[in-house]
Structure 1
Amino acid sequence: MLLTPDQEAIRDAVREFAQAELWPHAAQWDRDHHFPKDVHQGLAQLGAYGICVPEEHGGAGLDYLTLALVLEEIAAGDGGTSTAISVTNCPVNAILMRYGNAQQKKQWLEPLAQGRMLGAFCLTEPQAGSDASSLRTTARKDGDGFTAGPPQGEARPLGGQRGHVSAERGGDHYIIDGTKQFITSGRNGQVAIVIAMTDKAAGKKGMSAFLVPTDAPGYTVARLEDKLGQHSSDTALIQFDGCRIPAENLIGAEGEGYKIALGALEGGRIGIAAQSVGMARSAFEFALQYAKDRTAFGGPIFDQQAVGYRLADCATQIEAARQLIWHAASLRDAGRPCLKEAAMAKLFASEMAERVCSAAIQTLGGYGYVKDFPLERIYRDVRVCQIYEGTSDIQKLLIQRALA
């Protein structure tokens, strides 16, 4: 697949920024667990926050293939930064573009697309990860006798060890109580899309989606996760305690939450796959240059077949993953179904990235294992790509169903 001149120009501009402003500082951000707000503003000025958002809503008005190009380049500079950008673009912006009303698009989508806000997506609970239908969320309308919070006599969960989320509609407001876990940008974001139940008896059809400002009283970051990698992006446990939001913050209609959440994950998987390629490419390029510079046995180690073949295999796997991503993105841009293709891209790219990072470390030998070189950080950063936006097992399940 050939890129257009505009797509190449956008890719090159983001690559230049990422290599100048992300890559040189990524190691320090990793050590300090630092969220680089100033760099995010630079990415916002490039349009990275709203790639697929129409221009009338403050976005760049581009396509998912361009989004994949942008996320690959940001991830090649720093994996954690690319995760925060990815979540804002999809699922957050994607949900508002498809299901938000005019007022919601003006109030929330426009500042998100312009980079004046960072978005978070609150789906996962301590007891509900891959099985999104097992949320314990409730949302009952005014006057039905429902009281927000745990049932009388039941202790409120401490530290998020028990997943309980409830929401009550009181006249023109909803009141949210409970816990959400593993939330990207839960602390640094300004608005979260929260999935809650409105009808337990309806199962998947009883879930609804809400817009919750993170400065709303009752929205509390209960804990920041101490993660293996991606330390420049926060992952939070969020406690909702009497968090009161206007009724107009309901996205779509009650009962559409499951459809809203899972529909957005399709595009999100393309983004995570692109991240995987960016991080893998960064590790590969570092190892390739090292192999050309390092001498042993009378010449560069790249000339040793064991090393040269290893890097040739890495280059092939990276390109194969990229083509899977571009194919899935092109289908989505054409308005065609791409659930299977997005799952294939994420599955292959995320697992490929770990293999390539491991091979890159092997190429450097002992140097690859120490923090003086970037490969161990990239290896840690890329591992989560097989987990978030649907684990590898879930991707295989989706592909299996599509083959049936």
Structure 2
Amino acid sequence: MSTQIALVCDDRADRLHTWATKLEERLGDGWRVEEITGTELALLVDALSEAERPHREAGHPDANLTSDQSAMLRRVDDAGLLVLDSDLTPSRSDMDAIADGEDITRALRNQSGETLARQARALTTVGYIIVVNRYYGSRFFDLTMNLFETGAADLYITNDDIGDAALWTGTADGARFNPSYWPVLGARLDAIDRAVTVVEDLDAKVFDTLGIDPDLLEPEQLDVLQHVDDPHDATFRQLVDSPLGLRFPDAPVGEDAVRRVAASVLLRWLVRTVCSPQNVVSDLPHLLTRFPQLFGDDVAERGFWDAAAVKGAEAAVDVRFLDAARSPVSQLVGRPFYDLEAVRSLGPRQRTSTGPAVRLVYAEDTSRFVDPSEADGFRSALPGSAARRFVESLDRRGDEEVEYRPRTRRR
């Protein structure tokens, strides 16, 4: 089995090495972590910028890449994981101590991980992309639950999260912070490659493939298709021309590159905009919260609620709702999702509970069910009728150092 490559990029060499060490521990055998900083980071920035030149400058000839720039882009092509610090502008003190410090500072000034993520997705065959410290440099819970909705990276985390057990396995190890919007990262690094197989036919219709009726979505959930006359007819190829796709959609791009961009757009939009609101498709924890009466006498057992909160591929499909399961969505997102309309249609024959249900709420910051007295309500910025959610508020209980932002959303 060939070794997979993870590239980790930061202007601060000391922090970069810490990140790389944590990644090596989590990725394990079969991966090699390579650190990119200083001169190499400046080379990466220049290589991506030059490769993009024919796209952003109409009539410009092919990119004039040096051999070193071409070699750097090949490294990105071969990487299964690309981790980028958000702010790549080095401090003067960091650069004064190394050779070519002024040249590196000039090349990296005002450069961001977000820009490199967008360029890398459009111009290379890189796998999963993570941007670190986009808005905050320490651990926080996003009370809007859609802060990164339009981001170019596949995942946004902070410096404190990189080696977190909950992020990589879905299970908190000695801690409780485990946001519901975190993936089980250890099982998602090949998500782009898997999504490419879904968009193989670029002219296939998006909603026919997903098994979702776009008429049931809120208008803002369809903003990604604002350039399409009728969302019912939207194709995967048209996702590439969306605000989440290519910045320069008129530039000539090969079909393989188009598929990878379409796969990335599909995943980001599906996870952040279609699934997170829980208004058309719902995962098991939110389904249980919304329709406990449909789960029979199981709802009287606390253990059933705990099992329903399991994240990732280990979360089993509830056999009572097989007819409502949305396989394409579940496969892409990495956990079971159910069609709410289909669940409602099953309601009359599923209401079999004879005893009182355990009264619990789902805490979005810890991904577990808790007693209402142990939770605080907040209003997310997600569309639909399920915008109001709950958190355990670990900061208020003194358990862990977590910021909850924006603070005005929590009561």
Which bracket does the TM-score occupy, shorter chain normalised?
Answer: under 0.3
Instruction: Select the structure with the greater relative contact order (CA < 8 A; seq sep ≥ 6).
Output: 1
TM value normalised by structure 1: 0.24
